[in-house]
Amino acid sequence: MTRAPIRLSALPSGRIEERFEDKSPRYTDAEAIAEANRCLYCVDAPCVKACPTAIDIPSFIRKIAGGQVKGAARTILTANLLGQSCGQACPVEVLCAGDCVYNAWGREPIAIGRLQRYAVESALARDPRIFRAKPPTGKSVALVGAGPASIAAAGYLALEGHRAVIFERKAIPGGLNTLGIAPYKMKGHEALHELEWVLSLGDIELRAGVSVVAQAAGPGEVSARDLVAEYDAVFLGLGLGADARVGLRGEDGDGVVGATAFIERLKADPGLDLAGVRRAVVIGGGNTALDVAHELALLGVDVAVVYRRSEAEMSGYAHELEGARVAGARLVENRVPVEVVREGGKVVALRIAPADAGARGSAPGPAGEELLPADLVAVAIGQSRATQVALAFEGVVLDPRGRVVVDPATHRTGNPKVYSGGDCVNGGKEVVNAVAEAKIAAHAMHEAMTTRAGGAAPVPSPQGS
């Protein structure tokens, strides 16, 4: 069995994320049992229907109440191999807990996320041998990208006895879980602990620092053609790309950062220095914008979130906005950024105007403009697609929005050996959605490899929504 030597030294000490306290620390045994006993164990429970991975929530909570922690963890992890990180990072307020029947009665919903985290962490700390892999099948799968989708797919495939090899271009694996989740929800080293456990499930190898390209030109690269030829199946878990830019005057240069790049540095780079940042402006209205604002506010920075529409129209979750506000951030709605103002090259303010005064990035005018003092401007208006490499695989197509097109029933692409899932398919959803899609793809790959189904895959239409 091949094991990847993932060590916590991959994340050096002195990272800013280490300063954050855990927003929802793990329950003690007594706390977990008390909360579990509040559950009504509903038949046809709405919380299960709201979970993308369909965890049997009443069943695992009942097991916690009865002291069967390992059984609770097995129930969770059978449905969702990344049950630990999802217990910490899932937006349960709009998923399982958001559909808890207690909400309709004006009572506090069951703390499903915290109970899930308690069960998985407690069980794995006592005995990580929750599952046993089936005998080797002789089949192998290459997985491109070491984010949640690929990690989950590799785990499910390994449990079926297949060999899984994950190719990750970055030195630090884990994707969103390690480098993108707000540190008050989950730290990077916790994501690596979970990854270590998944790697222990069977014959899984992680090759970090290796890029998949159309045509390999040297060490550290492998070609798409070679993966298709060498492996019985390929899974594309490409994630998302770089932060989008606004196109403002003054945007280029120090003091203006992409939101996801900033979060990654905050979580992994001990060299990040925020000593001179007293005021910050975040541009955007999604969850990433709210995460950055929340993080900066917790660090004592005066933060304003500038959004071009109203609060009611924000794509970010209401509970995330409330959390950012409690931490000290404020929302400036119905405003568009016009210019990053600099003095001597240093950012000193963001010029904004009423949203109806013109297009974003247009020439400034006097009517209704104002300056928001800032030492830092974080841009959180979306990310580019990282899917161009997918086109190196014959038969794989993208939709008009740059997402990999798959058959939703199998997550197979137009190439009968290539499957895909996660953000590169759904455009950017939650970790739990990536796991759900990975599970579908892993099952389909297992069926294809073990039944030797013949015939070519139909090419999916790229006209997806």
Note the pLDDT of residue 280: 98
Say how far apart CA 159 and CA 243 lie, in whole Å.
36
Note the pLDDT of residue 366: 59
Residue 9 resides in a domain: no
At 77, give phi and psi (nearest 5°): -70, -25
The predicted-structure confidence for 88-114, as pLDDT tens digits, reads as follows 999 999 999 999 999 999 999 999 999
- pLDDT bucket at 381, cuts 50 / 70 / 90: very high
Residue 80 resides in a domain: yes
Whether 454 has a pLDDT exceeding 60, the answer reads no
The alpha carbons of the chain give a radius of gyration, in whole angstroms, of 23
Structural domain boundaries enclosing 361: 243-383
Task: Say whether both 314 and 363 belong to one domain.
Answer: yes
Task: Say whether both 297 and 371 belong to one domain.
Answer: yes
Whether 5 has a pLDDT exceeding 50, the answer reads no
Task: Say whether both 367 and 345 belong to one domain.
Answer: yes
CATH number at residue 277: 3.50.50.60
Residue 132 resides in a domain: no
Task: Say whether both 379 and 398 belong to one domain.
Answer: no
- pLDDT bucket at 119, cuts 50 / 70 / 90: very high
Task: Say whether both 73 and 195 belong to one domain.
Answer: no
Note the pLDDT of residue 367: 66
- Evaluate whether 369 touches 223 at the Cβ level (below 8 Å): no
Task: Say whether both 247 and 366 belong to one domain.
Answer: yes
Note the pLDDT of residue 362: 45
- The two structure tokens encoding residue 363: 């020439």
Question: Which DSSP string corresponds to 91-115?
Answer: -GGGSTGGG-GGGGGTSPPP-HHHH
Residue 360 resides in a domain: yes
The H or E element containing residue 320 is helix 318-327
How many alpha carbons fall within 13 Å on the CB side of residue 66?
11
How long a stretch of residues is the chain?
465
- The two structure tokens encoding residue 130: 């929750």
Angstrom distances, CA of residue 147 to CA of 19, 167, 170, 180, 293: 25, 10, 11, 10, 24
Note the pLDDT of residue 460: 55
Total number of domains constituting the chain: 3
344 CA to centre of own chain: 38
Question: Which DSSP string corresponds to 214-261?
Answer: SS--STTEEEHHHHHHHSSEEEE---EEEEP----BT-SSTTEEEHHH
Residue 358 resides in a domain: yes
Last residue of a domain, one of 367, 383, 399: 383
Say how far apart CA 220 and CA 208 lie, in whole Å.
9
Say how far apart CA 425 and CA 451 lie, in whole Å.
26
Last residue of a domain, one of 331, 356, 383: 383
Note the pLDDT of residue 217: 81
| Residue labelled with tokens 């506090």 | 108
Note the pLDDT of residue 359: 47
Query: Mean pLDDT, the chain, as a whole number?
Result: 93
The predicted-structure confidence for 190-240, as pLDDT tens digits, reads as follows 999 999 999 999 999 999 999 999 998 888 999 999 999 999 999 999 999
Task: Say whether both 224 and 251 belong to one domain.
Answer: no
How many alpha carbons fall within 13 Å on the CB side of residue 353?
16
Say how far apart CA 373 and CA 117 lie, in whole Å.
40
Q: Which long-range contacts (CB under 8 A, 24 or more apart) does 193-197 make?
A: 194/82, 194/84, 194/85, 195/6, 195/146, 195/151, 196/6, 197/124, 197/128
Task: Say whether both 96 and 47 belong to one domain.
Answer: yes
Task: Say whether both 223 and 270 belong to one domain.
Answer: no
Note the pLDDT of residue 451: 87
- Evaluate whether 243 touches 262 at the Cβ level (below 8 Å): no
Note the pLDDT of residue 462: 53
| Residue labelled with tokens 């990035």 | 361
Last residue of a domain, one of 383, 405, 420: 383
Task: Say whether both 218 and 172 belong to one domain.
Answer: yes
Whether 3 has a pLDDT exceeding 50, the answer reads no
Residue 321 resides in a domain: yes
Task: Say whether both 204 and 235 belong to one domain.
Answer: yes
Note the pLDDT of residue 365: 53
Task: Say whether both 358 and 269 belong to one domain.
Answer: yes
Residue 4 resides in a domain: no
Range name among 70-84, 113-127, 304-318, 364-378 with the lowest pLDDT average: 364-378
Residue 99 resides in a domain: yes
Model-level pTM?
0.93
